[in-house]
Chains A and B, each alone.
Chain A
Amino acid sequence: MTAHVLSDTGTLTGRSLRHILRSPDTIITTAITPVALMLLFVYVLGGAINTGSDESYINYMLPGILLITIASGIAYTAYRLFLDMKGGIFERFQSMPIARPAVLWAHVLTALVANLASIVIVTGVALIMGFRTGASVTDWFAAAGILILFTLALTWVAVIAGLSAKTVDGASAFSYPLIFLPFISSAFVPTDSMPGPVAWFAENQPVTSIVNTLRALFAQQPVGHDIWIALAWCAGLLVAAYAAATAIYRKKIS
């Protein structure tokens, strides 16, 4: 059975990628909210925000916007997984000689592709709006690697939501707090401008370390120990969400 994990995952990933190609609006809608936020912050609020650095504001806030893009994109993973289970095709797959993990991995890999597409769109708009970076190829790879790791971690959270949701709304509602998380971080304003307890939360939640790392990479600054905190958060979340999702999945299919 394990011999087919890769080919089955490939086949099923091809299937859900087709879903996305046939409704590209899911990628567009994923990108619209972050782009709107970017316009709002850069052209309306940004002028009044003192980031304490001489970077342009769009350079300052793009990392946070990218994380919001991912957080809103993964809701579609939960949604698609939920629809599969509801529609009977999930049972068809389960009654066939398919490598069991392939069904979930196909959704996860599809989410990765879709989110990267959204990120490319948002970054493109940011470039038009004046985002500039002197980041080297290695810096870009490091930034992409962190974004991919973050996407994978959140996607497995989405798998939990998709597997355990009772309604379509429930399947995507879990992502709202995640979308909100970057606002209480260093993504839009420096954390030291916040009152004590809020600042403490902002400094110790995963988004801040990821944002700081990405920002440092784009600005060619040393990433410091932020990158290790960011990687630890992403890896920890990934492992925990993966374990929980597969446990729920196994319970569901036996």
Chain B
Amino acid sequence: MTTTTREPAIRVRAVTKSYQDLHVLRGVDFDVAPGSIFALLGSNGAGKTTLVRILSTLLRANTGTATVHGFDVASAPGDVRRSISLTGQFAAVDEVLTGRENLVLVAKLRHLRNPGAVADDMLARFSLTDAGNRRAGTYSGGMRRRLDIAMSLVGNPPVVFLDEPTTGLDPQARIEVWQTVKRLAKDGTTILLTTQYLDEAEQLADRIAILHQGVIIQNGTLAELKQLLPSAEVEYVAKQPTLEDVFLALVGDTADGAAMPAGGESR
């Protein structure tokens, strides 16, 4: 909180990480501006999760430096932890506890003043109020992911890491997560998300970096990345609905119904 907001919320310099002779990260550099959404795009095994684990203090880099919210991840991990939240690839909810108990647990561990009220507020924000007193183990995949993200946002950390937040979700749940991410960024939270879905990066990110074999091979806005390819040829193609459009139209209850129109234009 003492740092000026102008400097990058996340700064990564020459970070490397190897396991014996497996070089997972081979010198990664990038900055993430405060309040922006930064997508780290890469195929499986590109090193995305390793990088997120380093930035969230779960893992130490071999060399290089990384600061999050102005704090060095190696020398001030406690301050970093106070500034971040991590949503991993697998929903880290306690299945034996109810949704509400999960949120109260996190609120208590973040030493917030009124854990019960914080939990109720989160349940409402993530449309889980009705399910709040059910065990998280009985939740559907989408609800579990919503609870997971809600738990991450307890205490409003200024920097949020989302590691493949929509992997394994059905299309509706995916759109719900996207809406949540957009809303967060609008409120000023810095978001670093990893994904292997190109459309996800396209939909959400202010900047996109492509991580390939342990290095960032491109980093720019969507428009900048598109310019890397020869200019588009004008071709007339009948606009066919995608299967996703059809599915969503048939099932017909996206969370707010607002997410669909933008998707059709992106080609």
Contacts and interface: CB of A to CB of B under 8 A. Distances in A.
Interface residues of A, number: 24
Interface string A88-108: 110111111110000000000
Contacts of B90: 87-88
B254 to A, nearest CB: 27
Interface residues of B, number: 28
B117 interface: no
Contacts of A97: 78, 81-82, 109-111
Interface string A1-32: 10010011001100100110011000000000
Contact of A95 (B60, B81, B91, B105): B81
B94 interface: yes
B56 A93 contact: no
Contacts of B82: 97
A138 interface: no
A19 B96 contact: yes
Contact of B92 (A12, A87, A98, A253): A87
Given A87-B92, A89-B92, A95 B97 contact: no
Given A4-B111, A11-B109, A92 B92 contact: yes
Given A97-B78, A97-B82, A89 B93 contact: yes
Of B93, B101, B110, B111, most A-chain CB atoms within 10 Å: B111
A254 B73 CA distance: 11
A92 B53 CA distance: 11
A102 to B, nearest CB: 9
Interface string B78-94: 10011011101111111
Contacts of A88: 88-92
Contacts of A254: 60
Nearest to B79: A97
Interface in B94-109: 94-97, 101, 105-106, 108-109
Contacts of A98: 81, 109
A95 B96 contact: no
B196 interface: no
Nearest to A21: B96
B80 to A, nearest CB: 9
A196 to B, nearest CB: 50
Contact of A96 (B93, B96, B101, B109): B109
Nearest to B96: A19
A81 B111 CA distance: 23
Given A18-B101, A97-B82, A91 B92 contact: yes
B86 A91 contact: yes
Of B89, B94, B151, most A-chain CB atoms within 10 Å: B94
B58 A253 contact: yes
A8 B81 CA distance: 15
B213 interface: no
Contacts of B93: 89
Given A92-B86, A94-B58, A95-B58, A11 B105 contact: yes
B17 to A, nearest CB: 13
A11 B96 CA distance: 15
A11 B94 CA distance: 14
Interface string B104-147: 01101111000000000000000000000000000000000000
A87 B109 CA distance: 18
Contact of B78 (A1, A7, A93): A1
Of A7, A12, A97, most B-chain CB atoms within 10 Å: A97
Contacts of B95: 87
B193 to A, nearest CB: 15
B96 A23 contact: yes
A93 B109 contact: yes
Nearest to A10: B108
Contacts of B60: 254
B111 A95 contact: no
Nearest to B154: A96
Given A87-B92, A91-B88, A97-B81, 6 more contacts: A4-B111, A8-B109, A12-B109, A15-B97, A93-B109, A96-B85
Interface of B: 56-58, 60, 78, 81-82, 84-86, 88-97, 101, 105-106, 108-111, 151
Interface of A: 1, 4, 7-8, 11-12, 15, 18-19, 22-23, 87-89, 91-98, 253-254
22 contacts: A4-B111, A11-B105, A11-B109, A15-B94, A15-B97, A19-B96, A87-B90, A87-B95, A88-B89, A88-B91, A91-B86, A92-B106, A92-B151, A93-B109, A94-B57, A94-B58, A95-B57, A95-B81, A96-B81, A97-B110, A98-B81, A254-B60
For the complex of A and B, the 9 pairs showing the least CB-CB separation, nearest first, are A88-B92, A92-B92, A95-B86, A97-B81, A95-B56, A97-B82, A11-B108, A88-B90, A89-B92
